[in-house]
Amino acid sequence: MNAEYEYLFKLLTRLKLVMIKEKLDFLLEEASKKDMNLREALTFFCEQEVQNKDHKRIQMGINLAKFPFSRTLDQFDFSAQPSIDNGQIRELSTCRWIGNGDALLLLGPPGVGKTHLAISLGREAIRQGYSVLFIQAAALLTQLAKAHLDGNLEDKINQFSKAKLLIIDELGYLPFDPKAAHLFFQLVSKRYEKGSTLITSNRSVSEWGEVFGDSVVAAAILDRLLHHSHVVIIRGESYRLKEKRKSGLINDQKLKDIK
């Protein structure tokens, strides 16, 4: 390596332009092959660096979010779920609601794509620079209850209040202990108007009193959540069952038996 090259490498290292440094020969060749002028070449080099940094940032955000599996909006078949307004989901994918600190409720029976949409919107939020944390409601409650017992509830609530978007999945599958409902209320209050909360639930809002085992606490939680909120109600049958039926794996009689 000649001295000039070495000097350029040092500068790139100092500026942390890792991608340009790594692909320098290739980039210089491309720039010359495509007859780029200096401005075009500089733009091309910077683009490569920015793409690489974005990719790394997104990967790190996805790791920190702890999604249970990977899903994207592109993988969502809107034609299979006519009760969902494609336009509303596209609007939500702009993440303006997160910028405003609004809440989002995705409600509907099991298997209709609530978790799929929640993860997809979470990934979109990360792409746009927001921090995201995904947790199942039951796990969240267990952690809050344990922290309460151990005397460090405040730390735990602060921990769950850090992410700009907190996704709480499957609220309502298990009924809450009324004490737990109060802990949940404290978390919702702390996050209120600071960050956004996305909740998926198989129970309608009118059933939340039952879910929380305390209608007063449920009303207080809903008051905070619904103040600035968006609600997507999904109707219809489970996507998996529908797919199985399409492929002939189950017939309508068996489906009725399952139900």
**Residue 35 or 74 with smaller CB distance to ligand ADP:** 74
For Mg ion, which residue of 48, 81, 115, 196 counts as binding (CB under 5 A)?
A: 115
Residue 192 binds which entry of ligand ADP, Mg ion, none, with Cβ cut-offs from 5 to 8 Å by kind? none
**Least distance in Å: CB of 149 to Mg ion?**
28
**Residue 44 or 239 with smaller CB distance to ligand ADP:** 239
Own/partner long-range contacts of 186-191 (Cβ < 8 Å, ≥24 apart) = 186/153, 186/157, 187/140, 187/144, 187/157, 187/160, 187/161, 188/221, 188/224, 188/225, 189/224, 190/157, 190/158, 190/161, 191/160, 191/161, 191/166
Report the DSSP pairing between strands 132-136 and 229-233: unpaired
Residue 116 binds which entry of ligand ADP, Mg ion, none, with Cβ cut-offs from 5 to 8 Å by kind? ligand ADP
**Burial of 196 from C-beta contacts in 10 A (0-12 / 13-18 / 19+):** buried
**Residue 69 or 252 with smaller CB distance to Mg ion:** 69
Q: Which residues 6+ apart lie within 8 Å of 26 measured at CB?
A: none
**Residue 71 or 224 with smaller CB distance to ligand ADP:** 71
**Least distance in Å: CB of 235 to Mg ion?**
16
CA distances 158 to 60, 143, 162, 190, 245, Å, are 21, 13, 6, 8, 46
**Least distance in Å: CB of 154 to ligand ADP?**
31
48 binds Mg ion (CB under 5 A): no
Question: What are the start-end ranges of the H helices in 100-172?
Answer: 114-127, 137-150, 153-161
Distance CA 91, CA 161 (A): 25
**Least distance in Å: CB of 170 to ligand ADP?**
7
Residues near ligand ADP (CB under 6 A):
71, 75-77, 80-81, 108, 110-116, 200, 239-240
**Residue 82 or 175 with smaller CB distance to ligand ADP:** 82
Residue 172 binds which entry of Mg ion, ligand ADP, none, with Cβ cut-offs from 5 to 8 Å by kind? none
Number of H helices, E strands in the chain: 14, 5
Residue 76 binds which entry of Mg ion, ligand ADP, none, with Cβ cut-offs from 5 to 8 Å by kind? ligand ADP
**Least distance in Å: CB of 113 to ligand ADP?**
3
> What one-character DSSP code corresponds to residue 177?
P
**Residue 168 or 181 with smaller CB distance to Mg ion:** 168
- Contact residues toward Mg ion (CB under 5 A) are 115
